[in-house]
Amino acid sequence: MPLWIIYHPQGVYETTEEKQTIAKTITSMYTSVGLPAFYVNVFFMPLPPTSFFIGGVPRPSAPSPANAPGPDSSVPFIRITIQHIARTHTTKEQADRMLAGIDKVIKPWVYDKGYDSEYSVEETSRDLWKIDGLVPPMPRTEAEKVWARENRSSIYEKEGGGLL
């Protein structure tokens, strides 16, 4: 399960259409490598300027000499946390490809808009993960392919899910 939490100032990513476009783009990054679409969770967390501080400075806020030196405080700051459970990366090359994929996905709605940003990816163990009370099938197994095709969880035989 990829979980993306996108923290952003109020007034940024406000429409359902914009958020849905972003979420669909993120989802396609994962479905293109075989994950079921329903594994992908994207949460938008709008924060008022009085709750969004970067380096002790509210973002966005009017530029002032008190905020210097540093980035222009009037520019929105986007913070994204990503959690991966369904797949983890075992080599630097895989991690680099994943980071390049994330950069490509967020480019139109973060980098191209000139927003300041930061993201991080946490990879956690599958051992403590369930969906609808079921242990998800192992990657690329027949059961996972069924879950991807049906876009929902379903009961499966352990052997078909790659579980012992």
162 burial via Cβ count (<10 Å: 0-12, 13-18, 19+): middle
Residues 150 and 93 in one domain: no
Cβ-based neighbours of 19, under 8 Å, separated by 6 or more: 13, 42, 44
Q: CB neighbours (10 Å) of residue 110?
A: 22
Mean pLDDT by 10 residues, the chain (164 residues): 95 96 97 95 92 86 77 89 92 95 97 96 93 94 95 93 84
Q: Residue 21: which CATH number?
A: 3.30.429.10
Tokens coding 84:
């991966």
- Taking the model in full, what pTM does it have? 0.91
Q: How many domains does the chain have?
A: 2
State how beta strands 53-54 and 2-9 pair: unpaired
Range of the domain at 29: 2-127
Rounded CA gap, 70 and 109, in Å?
A: 23
